[in-house]
Structure 1
Amino acid sequence: MSFRRALSKAPIVQHSIRSMATAAAGKTMTVRDALDNAMEEELDRDPSVFLMGEEVAQYNGAYKISRGLLDKFGPKRIVDTPITEMGFTGLCVGAAFAGLKPVCEFMTMNFAMQAIDQIINSAGKTYYMSGGKLPVNIVFRGPNGAAAGVAAQHSQDYSTWYGAIPGLKVISPYSAEDARGLLKAAIRDPNPVVCLENELLYGQSFPVSEEALSPDFTLPIGKAQILKEGKDLSIISYTRNLNFCLEAADIVRDKYGLNVEIINLRSIKPMDWDTILKSIIKTKHALTVESGFPAFGVGAEICAQVMESSAFDYLDSPIVRVTGCETPTPYAKSLEDFAFPDTPTVVRGIEKVMSLGEWA
């Protein structure tokens, strides 16, 4: 398993309870800690919850998301597997059929392609095909999209893939509160939920509220967050790209005096159309930002939905999409950096929507 271990260089850190105490005192928490203690609390709360995946137990997780859980809950609930995504995903789905609540971890969502039949046909469609008699309470989670230097076969964003499937819910957390609240909600949800995390966010710290530290804290799946209020332009994005959106908003504020509103989707499916449309009606301009391919993407779906809604009549300019490039992810760092959105790319997108800069 050395090749897959090489994908993660995260050091082993202290157990999540201590990390959580530090977060409570300093009001900050990393996304890694948020996911870890969210699972810990749900394992404590419900004996039918268990975690299964490659290196989740003895190695404390490939990205140290499950550190300390084996020591606390034992090998029957924190289960290491061989490199057999098709096999252990099928085991998890079968366990969900039997009434358990598996959390099925993929070392990267790219490896979940080996188990796509179990995720879509077995988990996603069974409740419908059983006439509502067989719910499938399961969470599929792991890092999604590009990390750094892992090339084309380990860098794809699956938001669009899973978002297209009836029967699946799809979440994509950004902050520590997102990660905690959405993962806990996903584990409690009776439907199959795909949790698309970002490896490059795992070590990033975010402020957390006292409310978010409660064991009862959850966030509703399907509800977006107004990350920053504004009046001139709506930016709709999710996960790590929100870092670039926030930086770009500061730049265009200082350069052009623009007051940008930023929407953190949190949930890809169901998507919070009410929040999106109300924001666009208010600002009359919109930009979508994602790291996926431009064709058939999340931004494309948002554009189509706005086009078919009453919000279209309020637009003062066409919606602009900022996406990843239409190419398999390059390995070379210079090309990899060029293949995905960054802060200057988002600034150029804002300038295009607002007819500023080179677009004036």
Structure 2
Amino acid sequence: MYTQPAALRSVLDSKYLEYCLSEYYDLGQWGECLFWLRGLNDTYKVRTPNGFYILRVYRREISESDVSFEISLLTQLKVLLDSEHTNVAEPIVKKDNSWYTVLDAPEGKRIAVIFRYINGIENGLLDEESCFAFGQSAAELHSAMDKVILNQPRYNLDTRFLIDQPLERILNYIGEKHEAAPFLFQFASTLKERIIAAAEQGLDWGICHGDMHGNNNALEKNTYFTHLDFEWSAKGWRAYDLAQVRARKRQQADKQEPLWNALMSGYRSVRAFSDQDEMAVELFIIARRFWVMSLDVAFIHSDNGALDYTVDWLEGFVNEFRKTNIV
């Protein structure tokens, strides 16, 4: 007998969340729990007499060990970061001194964590001053991460994560006999070889943010950046972290180089970033796009639907990858 897998992601009712969570936190009476944002995870804005808080309900695929890793990282960084430029999101401890709650959702178990609300704005990094300040902040974050001690098992942001697993996911979706499959296989293999060759020259390796594109994962207040959304944090190449900032699409083409140079100057005013690291950034921009393509695939059947991920979607990525001249 076939059983329908619980794949689709529900939007959990605010009253249900208040019922499940409010008694476990010392936040005061909940005046409102507003569904705020549907991203990879679901975000709610909670209002109490003590102020606002952010409630994150992770998607079903996120395990307790994933959340435990993220919280351990954040709580250590809160202690290690003593800076005029940099802070991180602060999870709120429950009355029993634990950090998260496992909820029963229609699709399966989902984990909820409450964070302190961050006052700030999303900086578009459209001027050199902002880029310099963000570079300083990114470097301070990496420096603090070098001091973090984590005992939880965790994957690495290596070529297996960036290339091998995405290739398998993409080929499983389009079919290994698809006419685009040979090119994607060759493209991925060559890109992997180039990254390995670059890494052998010596690249900065350590805990990364994992999603440092500088858009919605850092809020600024008076050149003070608070970093959030550490869901993809793991050990990896720091050039991969900065590649995500380099590849931002909101900047005008003629300003990209000056803005990148300003960001690099800010970063290097705090910690080293070698010429080899900077040269590798372009490779990791491409690897990031390949990983993003596979992330699209990962959520087609459970969240996004297939309508927007057919011929045009595939051709768009293939044409983009051909223009890189990797193969």
TM-score, scaled to structure 1: 0.29
TM-score, scaled to structure 2: 0.31
Higher relative contact order (CA 8 A, sep 6+): 2
